[in-house]
Amino acid sequence: MSVDALAARVRRGERRAVARALTLVEGLGPEADVLLTALGPPPEATRRVAVTGPGGVGKSTLIAALVAHLRAEGCTVAVLGIDPSSPLTGGAVLGDRVRMAEHDTDAGVFVRSQAGRGAAGAIAAATGCSVWILAASGFDVILIETVGAGQDQVAVVGVADVVTLALAPGAGDAVQALKAGLMEIPDVIAVTRADAPGAELLVADLRLAGIDCPVVRTTALNGGGVAELWATVAAGVDALAADGGLERRRRAGMADQLRALAIARLASQLPGAGELDALAGEVMAGRRGVSSAVDTAVERAEGPAG
Amino acid sequence: MSVDALAARVRRGERRAVARALTLVEGLGPEADVLLTALGPPPEATRRVAVTGPGGVGKSTLIAALVAHLRAEGCTVAVLGIDPSSPLTGGAVLGDRVRMAEHDTDAGVFVRSQAGRGAAGAIAAATGCSVWILAASGFDVILIETVGAGQDQVAVVGVADVVTLALAPGAGDAVQALKAGLMEIPDVIAVTRADAPGAELLVADLRLAGIDCPVVRTTALNGGGVAELWATVAAGVDALAADGGLERRRRAGMADQLRALAIARLASQLPGAGELDALAGEVMAGRRGVSSAVDTAVERAEGPAG
């Protein structure tokens, strides 16, 4: 199938085409930018929401509840999992996946786990490309699931319009990390298992620590607080859009993506393994300095297009 | 100080110059390859040993015991920590660092924690540069401490001549991961806390799983098995050297390093944030395709040298 034909099918929302397009862009190969060019700029109306938080806080349960809420509201939803340990989108055991089973035959829901390959910037750029494709194929909301810790996962957050951090009772460490500036302050905090002991203490800790973003209490297993959480998230996107912040944020994400695509293209033009190995041998033998070997490699990368 | 003067001081083993040179290469900036060129090829005799293993297995204790053994044998030792959670080289609490305190005033020991910044390939390349500098400054043995899991840490292992995996009793998961091919088979396995219950079961598990690399039992707190561990590691390096495998391994590591330095240089030639932001705005407005924007960025990178 030509890239143009694939783009046309993606725009019609054909699921197999969407899956194929996602596979194509994940590696940031030369066809990635051709496909995105064929798709044109991503629709502005799509809401892109990162749901981040450490393992074990009930992030997957929360996302499944958000999906159910959004479907009931008539919105189509794509879930893009960047967290490799996620039971929702990752290679999880059967029992853990059960919560999404109700959506398995629903054409308005699309769940995809992105292979987390390559450099930090490359993972975020691939996520940006995937979000672009999902938006072009017509989903109203894209939920991006990430652990939000470590360089890869932090960079991924740059792709989202707003970031929701899920914290469970007992997450005192996370509050300290937020307060110390070791973790980005999210746009919204969801306190999961809000009916469990310690939930109110967590909310009080957040306030004491001076973290003043909206905090929503959720009990996702029975849907409690989920409508309020979504309303808070949507209000956050709207507020950003009203003062121009949304456009700036999306443009910064696109700039990061262009940079990563450019680096991927330049890297693909470097000499192959055999030639690099020969250069390495010359350096080790003292016949060539590192600078000269790097010069040679860079000149080769610059050759084809320069 | 000029790069040539710095290189001269590194070769004389001046500790402050070594520390400064390590800082200089960690970011893979343009001066990194100039400094390495001035230093010339790294000495062949230096042994580079990765000590890898999950947190909590007693890796730091084992490394401290190896350092003590090597010093008693008259070898100088540098420890390069890539594991950010390491109590030995990382930003650990005071109590945990006590074990290395006996070496604090010993000029034959150098301990350095490498800031783990940037992409997977970049971290390994920076480690390669650091090992080069430590070798040039005359250390007989370089121990590289890494958790060995995750892409960054796996790539780091490529810098070493041999890899020692530390496993504690109860590490059944790690044995399964090794057996399933999810984890690289190391050159040597050190069973730590070999006097604890479960140590013999771990050894039996390794054998049952068909893992046939040398297994050495250690009780590092009292130095037990440490001399045997080092003898096994050194024999591994010698065996590799005898059949040409060592040269191949080091050349492959050097080729990876050249590739990462070339990518770092190409990336530094990309347009700045302002220009990328303007390109991103054009893409989002539909006035330009992604391919054209990436073309422009790549042409700019190729401009100065092409």
B9 part of a folded domain: no
Question: Do residue B40 and residue A273 have CB atoms under 8 angstroms apart?
Answer: no
Residues B52 and B149 in one domain: yes
pLDDT at position B60 is 87
Chain position carrying tokens 């109110």: A200
Helices (H) and strands (E) in chain A, counts: 13, 7
B37 part of a folded domain: no
A18 part of a folded domain: no
Question: Do residue B255 and residue A276 have CB atoms under 8 angstroms apart?
Answer: yes
Domain that holds residue A178: 42-243
Quick check: B3 pLDDT over 70? yes
Quick check: A10 pLDDT over 50? yes
Residues A283 and A157 in one domain: no
Residues A144 and A275 in one domain: no
Band the pLDDT of B93: cuts 50, 70, 90.
very low
- The amino acid at residue A201 is L
A118 part of a folded domain: yes
The average confidence (pLDDT) of chain B is: 86
B82 part of a folded domain: yes
Residues B291 and B161 in one domain: no
Residues A275 and A224 in one domain: no
Instruction: For chain B, say whether A92 makes contact (Cβ under 8 Å).
Output: no
Tell me how far apart the alpha carbons of residues A294 and A302 are, in angstroms, rounded to a whole number.
12
Choice between A248 and A87, residue whose per-residue pLDDT is larger: A248
Task: Tell me the per-residue pLDDT of A172-205, one tens digit each, with 9 for 90 and over.
Answer: 778 887 887 767 789 999 999 999 999 999 999 9
Task: Tell me the per-residue pLDDT of A108-129, one tens digit each, with 9 for 90 and over.
Answer: 999 888 765 555 567 778 889 9
Question: Do residue A37 and residue B262 have CB atoms under 8 angstroms apart?
Answer: no
Residues B172 and B298 in one domain: no
Residues B79 and B186 in one domain: yes
Shortest Cα–Cα distance, A129 to chain B (Å): 11
Q: What number is the average pLDDT over the span A16-37?
A: 89
Instruction: For chain A, say whether B268 makes contact (Cβ under 8 Å).
Output: no
Task: Tell me the per-residue pLDDT of B126-185, one tens digit each, with 9 for 90 and over.
Answer: 889 999 999 999 999 999 988 765 555 667 777 899 999 999 998 877 888 788 776 778
A255-267 in b/e form (b: 16+ CB < 10 A) is bbbbbbbbbbbbb
- How many inter-chain contacts (A to B, CB under 8 Å) are there? 163
Quick check: A92 pLDDT over 50? no
Q: What is the DSSP letter of B184?
A: -
Instruction: For chain B, say whether A290 makes contact (Cβ under 8 Å).
Output: yes
Distances A297 to A201, A270, A274, B27, B294 between C-alpha atoms, Å: 57, 6, 12, 19, 21
Quick check: A251 pLDDT over 80? yes
B14 part of a folded domain: no
Closest CB to B41 among A247, A255, A284: A284
Question: Do residue B261 and residue A119 have CB atoms under 8 angstroms apart?
Answer: no
Contact A108, A137 (CB under 8 A): no
- Burial (CB < 10 A; 0-12, 13-18, 19+), residue A131, is buried
Residues B63 and B182 in one domain: yes
ipTM above 0.90, yes or no: no
Q: What number is the average pLDDT over the span B261-271?
A: 88
Residues A180 and A298 in one domain: no
Question: Do residue B255 and residue A280 have CB atoms under 8 angstroms apart?
Answer: yes
Contact B69, B230 (CB under 8 A): yes
Band the pLDDT of A141: cuts 50, 70, 90.
very high
Q: With contacts defined as CB-CB under 8 Å, which chain A residues touch B41? A: 283-286
Residues B125 and B184 in one domain: yes
Chain position carrying tokens 């450099």: A119
- Nearest residue of A to residue B263, measured between CA atoms: A267
pTM of the prediction? 0.75
Tell me how far apart the alpha carbons of residues B198 and A77 are, in angstroms, rounded to a whole number.
49
Quick check: A94 pLDDT over 50? no
Query: Total domain count for chain B?
Result: 2
Residues 120-149 of A with CB under 8 A from B: 120-122
Chain position carrying tokens 């390959």: A117
Distances A30 to A38, A39, A260, A291, B120 between C-alpha atoms, Å: 13, 15, 12, 28, 21
Q: What is the DSSP letter of A247?
A: H
B163 part of a folded domain: yes
Tell me how far apart the alpha carbons of residues B223 and B175 are, in angstroms, rounded to a whole number.
25
Closest CB to A284 among B117, B254, B285: B254
Residues B237 and B168 in one domain: yes
- Nearest residue of A to residue B32, measured between CA atoms: A291
Q: What is the DSSP letter of B57?
A: S
pLDDT at position B95 is 35
Contact B145, B59 (CB under 8 A): yes
pLDDT at position B28 is 80
- Burial (CB < 10 A; 0-12, 13-18, 19+), residue A150, is middle
Q: What number is the average pLDDT over the span A212-238?
A: 95
Q: What number is the average pLDDT over the span A229-233?
A: 98
Task: Tell me the per-residue pLDDT of B209-249, one tens digit each, with 9 for 90 and over.
Answer: 999 899 999 998 898 999 999 999 999 999 999 999 999 99
- Nearest residue of B to residue A253, measured between CA atoms: B280
Closest CB to A297 among B258, B270, B293: B258
Residues A174 and A293 in one domain: no
- Which one of B194, B228, B243 terminates a domain? B243
Contact A279, B256 (CB under 8 A): no
Q: What is the CATH number of the domain that holds A50?
A: 3.40.50.300
A297 part of a folded domain: yes
